[in-house]
Chains A and B, each alone.
Chain A
Amino acid sequence: MSAATKQMQAGAIQGEEPRRPKTGMGTRIGHGLVWLVLIVLLFAFLAPFLLVVINVFKTKADITSKPLALIGRHGFTLQNFPEAMEKMDFWTVLGNSLFVTICATILTVLLSAMAAYVIVRNPTWKAGAILFTLMVASMVIPFQVIMVPLVSVYGGMLHVLNSRITLILMHVGFSVSLATFMFHGAIKTNIPMELEEAAEIDGCGKWRTFWRIVFPLLKPTVATVTIIEAMAFWNDYLLPSLVLGRKELYTIPIATQVFYGTYSTDIGLVMAALLLAMLPILVLYVFLQRYVVEGVTSGAVKG
């Protein structure tokens, strides 16, 4: 009996599907087949990443002559990393990406939760209703429509480009509509008015009621919005590339693009740069994968 079938049996015995009355031999073989298919698919899915990992430890000559070999003729090398790190200024770039992503995500979550709260609790307030309608409608606007006027206004007239703060505020401005929409739904269906009324009777002001009572109850939505927006900010290329023109402000996607443009023939360095660009988020994913999967799934149900 193969290891795979044993594991399958273990799964069947532990009873992951207790409801099914007949967990006979047929189901077990079926599960084994499914498992095998999934393993093969997974290998195919992750093959591009594996190829990068294999080749990052080879010399340029070995990558060119035998890209599929596990170890090159010239043996194992770590040389590609320090050089790529220095040339793409890895630590500065990583710092920029972290700074922009963290600030923009926190601001998006706080500001849109606040906005959604007043909009839901004041249904007769005209300006709020108009704002919410505009936000929902704006979600179909592709970024391509905004980019030229954006550069023209903030670059040509106000001269505030080339700043991380500008990028963060723009990120927030673009993402508050979806975030407000999601918080709007959560507050409307999940937060009972009675709690707030009780807090008000006890002498709690609007500001404190929101932060002490409402916001903590929104935790699941906060997690979803954080994950969806943080991933979008971390990986965004087009907006940062328009805003950040100076090398010391680059985020990871721009730095990768510029690096590739300059060193595309030095394939060993490219491999190292690509791996470095992917590593931070992959490491984080190992710890947070449960929240990411849940966040994306529940975001899908709401959005």
Chain B
Amino acid sequence: MFAGPAAILFCAVVIVPFIYGLYLTLTNWDGISNHKPFVGLSNYRQAFADTAYWQAMGRTVIYSVISVILVNVVAFLLAYLVTSGIKGQNFFRAAFFIPNLIGGIVLGYVWKFVFNRAFVAIGEAVTSHTTSSLLSTPNGAMFCLILVSVWQYAGYMMLIYVAGFMSVDQSLKEAAEIDGCSKAQAMVKVTIPLMRSSFVQCIFLSTTRCFMVYDLNLSLTKGEPFNSSVMAAMHVYNKAFVYKNYGVGQSEALLLFVVCAVIGLLQVYFGKKGEVDA
């Protein structure tokens, strides 16, 4: 009885749709009629042949890899700075977290204004002739997406790294320094290995978030210019709800799930393997 309500809601919105979704991939449903013609594996065949989908997937991988690396580098440096014992470090921690309070939709529009107006105004002031927005070229749009993601997630991952820094016993680092380690050596050889779990967590958290990016993609670039910035999640959404191709859309979503499941399993594997004890 205690677990009942949670179990019912969980099954109703996660388990049942998931299983029903598996069935939908085998049908050729148009989204309206009650009739769902059974078509076997043809949706999967179409999904594998859908070049736009694989392009979006490849783009998402590139975007995620670059973003994850930059997010974690920036977050780690920020965490290092705000744990160095300076005055007001709690204020800085709280302030760098602010972008995470606001949803991707609103942030995307804020940055759209920054890229389209402020950056253009700066560009024109510096070069003294008309400049076009970064968002109007494919590479520029990708750059913008990465920049905003790094800006947003760095504050969140920073907090995880801060927790990691604080969990490392100061005396170990001091002992290393007394034994003749330089500060940098102590960092690389003592502190960072002891923070392994923070790294695993941050890298996987930022990977899944980047891989599933949708809100920011929708508000910042809307897939433009010329569909060159459509990420995997947006492609799946459009396939199903815009082009009403539910069967193929659902099959492509399921392929996305496979990728996520692999990432999840890797996290468990790396999380358990080689945990360092102090």
Contact = CB atoms under 8 A, between A and B. Distances in A.
A48 B6 contact: no
A67 B10 contact: no
A114 interface: yes
Contact of A141 (B3, B18, B87): B18
Interface stretch (A72-80, A169-177, A196-204, A216-224): A169-177
Interface in B83-98: 84-88, 90, 92-98
A67 B118 contact: yes
Nearest to B84: A34
A48 B110 contact: yes
B226 interface: no
B20 interface: yes
A113 B67 CA distance: 35
Given A45-B96, A48-B114, A173-B13, A145 B254 contact: yes
B145 interface: no
Range of interface residues on A (Cβ < 8 Å): 35 or more
A66 interface: yes
A252, A253, A270, most chain B CB atoms within 10 A: A253
Given A34-B81, A237-B104, A271-B113, A146 B6 contact: no
B215 A238 contact: yes
A45 B151 contact: yes
A41 B256 CA distance: 36
B192 interface: no
Nearest to B249: A148
A165 interface: no
Contact of B10 (A35, A66, A176, A234): A176
B160 A235 contact: no
A16 B3 contact: no
A297 B3 contact: no
A282 B121 contact: no
Contacts of B163: 297-298, 300-301
B102 interface: yes
A68 B214 contact: no
A293 B96 CA distance: 10
At the interface, is chain A mostly helix, strand, loop or mixed?
helix
A85 interface: no
A274 B97 contact: no
Contact of B215 (A148, A253, A270, A297): A253
B173 to A, nearest CB: 11
Nearest to A47: B114
Interface stretch (B44-52, B135-143, B233-241): B233-241
A204 to B, nearest CB: 15
B253 A144 contact: yes
B14 interface: yes
B206 interface: no
Interface residues of B, number: 84
A269 to B, nearest CB: 12
Contacts of B102: 235, 277-278, 281-282
Nearest to B197: A301
Interface in B222-244: 233, 236-237, 240-241
A153 B17 contact: yes
A121 B143 CA distance: 51
A112 interface: yes
A15 B159 CA distance: 23
Interface string B91-120: 011111111111111100111011001100
B253 A260 contact: no
Given A143-B212, A270-B113, A293 B15 contact: no
B156 interface: yes
A257 B20 CA distance: 30
A285 interface: yes
Contact of A19 (B10, B170, B241, B264): B170
Interface in A134-163: 134-135, 138-150, 152-153, 156
Contacts of B2: 114-115, 117-118, 206, 210
A293 B233 contact: no
A42 interface: yes
B264 A131 contact: no
A239 B111 CA distance: 23
Given A31-B85, A114-B2, A236-B103, A142 B17 contact: no
Interface string A108-137: 000110110111000000001001001100
A-B pairs, 9 with minimum CB distance: A11-B87, A235-B103, A173-B13, A140-B264, A173-B9, A115-B6, A149-B17, A149-B21, A115-B3
18 contacts: A11-B87, A45-B95, A111-B5, A115-B3, A117-B2, A118-B3, A119-B3, A138-B15, A142-B260, A144-B214, A145-B253, A150-B13, A156-B31, A172-B9, A271-B113, A277-B102, A285-B98, A293-B90
Interface of A: 7-8, 10-11, 14, 16-17, 19-20, 30-31, 34-35, 37-38, 41-42, 45-49, 51-52, 55, 63-64, 66-68, 111-112, 114-115, 117-119, 128, 131, 134-135, 138-150, 152-153, 156, 169-170, 172-174, 176-177, 180, 206, 210, 231, 234-238, 252-253, 256-257, 260, 267, 270-271, 274, 277-278, 281-282, 285, 289-290, 292-293, 296-298, 300-301, 303
